[in-house]
Structure 1
Amino acid sequence: MTEESLMFLGVSPDEEEMYRLLLRRGGFSRTDLERHLQQDAREGDAPDAQTTYQHMIDLGLATETPGGLLAPVSPAKAVEALIEGKVGRRRAELESEAANSGIVDSLLGEHEKSLDASAQPDQTGGTTTRHIEGMAAVRAAIDELTFFTRTESLTTSPTGVLSQENISHARVMDSRILRRNVHMRTLMAAPALDDPTTMDYLRELTAKGAKVRIAYEPLERLIICDRAAALTPIDPAETTKGAILTRDPGLVAALVSLFERMWQTAHDLPTIEESEDKGTSLVNGLQRDILRSLYTSEKDEIGARELGIAVRTYRKHVASLMQRLGASNRFQAALLARERGWI
């Protein structure tokens, strides 16, 4: 064996020897692999060919060709995958050690001293609620919350559409949570259904174990971690102003109840096949009634009264539907909805 070895990446000498042989040979059929293992066995029984075949694939050192051959993965790709695997495992270990050590709590204690002026004291003199101003500070708070999340993460996206920048930032935190087998549930507004970038990321999350639902009713923006801390915007209409972080048990419990009610009325993320159908399954009954009312009602107040809902709720639905349809005005939204078969 040469001095250059894959042992530092967790590959045993026997596994590396098999990989090097695959690189020299270009591949093995199952029969050839079994014959080689029997010939190579010096003492005792030869390793099981099927086990070896699958093990090399699981390591990321080999792949199965359409013709059934065990073929080597290119060295650059194989080493990259081994590095990513080791880094991922080490990162999870370090995150766990940091969380268990209490070091971040200790450092946060120093930071919290400068935030007492904006915090609401509880009866014991501690702080359970504070205002966080500016998006940079809000993102830092979210990073801290997700770092410590151990059992459950509940989130909503009232706009439903995620930009590539949003996804790049979210992927780091979401992956951190899912690596720890945290129970993640995410509610997305209906415009997500019409955005391929968002849908691709949502399916990526579900493949990793997250649960995602699509809400046709208006959503409130929430992030709840372990049912112990919750983050809501200071101004829902202008989220860039900042957020309110609360650890008050009563407030957090109320926000959890709100999330559960929104979750119960939402729908499971559609499959790829279902997403290809742009028919009435992508709008609910209330939304179809609202789209029809755009033809007949001159004012929002009239349309809302006819449907028996609040004007604010009516307007939220109209704005969401116009965004999904790409309509510049309400009459155009009604026409486009009819063309798509939504009404």
Structure 2
Amino acid sequence: MLEPIGLSRQDETVYEVLVRRVHATVAELALDSQLPVPATRRSVRSLVSLGLAVRSTGRPVTYAAVSPDSALEAVLRERERALHDVRSHISGLMDLYRAATRFVNPGELVEVVSGRDDVNRRWAQLQQSTRTQVRGFDRPPYATVEEHTQPNPVELELLKRGVAYRVIYDSTVLTLPGWLANVTIGIQHGEQARVASDLPMKLAVFDDRIAIIPLLRPGDNTLTASYVIHPSPLLDALVALFETLWERSMQVRLPAHGGSLGSLEQTGDELSAEEAKLLTLLAAGATDKSAGRALGWSERTVQRHVTRLMQRFGAQTRFQIAMEATRRGWI
């Protein structure tokens, strides 16, 4: 159990014996540990160097265990400082690596992954290797048969670990069954989602170190190959493109509280869950038909609720609805 802080199994055995005895000579520790005296002496020296034991000045020489809570905590803090220094060093090495690989072996800066299974496998692998954030453009077609009917399990796990996800969805996904429910789950777990029209491509950027772009030809309706972009000016350009479109896209905001269809008739300033979803879809450019498909409503039901929103806000047009919702900070 104590190997991660620098103790060998032999050292840990001797330490546990010393903790039980509190005070002991090397010979006593060797007897209880069933280890040779020279090996026990080496372990005791390791314990002293780590601050887990202290040596007496009298004769015979005895050793005493330091209180495990304070001693082990001190060792852990030292290890954490050392790991922090290592991470800082890695960051510096990565800066050197990125600078060097921009112009050396340019043919290795773009990798091609072929085959639907290999694309999915690499996509999951790149997500799992992310330390800080994933940024992406999301639009059809997809490499998985589920499309947006099921949440991305890797994303949900990484969100729990504190990895940020910022995703811009193309407005074409609004017509996909299950998209709204899927994105709602992501947002509830911490995903930051926005919607934009006419995204130029599918894209995922992992930290600032690597990106993946699907290889699609006009008319393709399945994703079977992708480019993997390594550190290079091309990767820098993709990051800059994402940040530019992020600023121009519309945020998807979904309230945490529930709601029912009847709540669309309520008065006051509180926004129901269904109103928030409908306003988000309409502001993202969804037609009545696609909004109804996303919400599970008929086109006529969408039109009826839009009319009620116009009456509620005193608006004459959908544009005025969007303006009023923006003014109130709802979209």
TM-score, normalized by length of structure 2?
0.45
- Larger Rg, first or second structure (1 or 2): 2
Q: Normalized per residue, which structure has more helix?
A: 1
Q: Which has the higher contact order (CA 8 A, sep 6+)?
A: 2
